Amino acid sequence: MVLAILLLIVTILCAVAVIRELKNKNLFAVAFAGLSAAVFGFFSIATIYVELFHDKVH
For the chain, percent of residues with pLDDT exceeding 70: 95
CA atoms within 13 A on the CB side of 15: 9
- Provide the b/e sequence for 2-39 (b: ≥16 CB within 10 Å): eebeebbebbeebbebbeebeeeeeeeebeebbebbee
pTM of the predicted structure, to 2 decimals:
0.82
Chain-wide mean pLDDT for the chain? Answer: 91
Question: pLDDT per residue over 23-50, tens digit each?
Answer: 999 999 999 999 999 999 999 999 999 8
User: Taking 80 as the threshold, does the pLDDT of residue 54 lie above it?
Assistant: no
pLDDT over 80 at 56, yes or no: no
Average pLDDT (5-28) is: 95
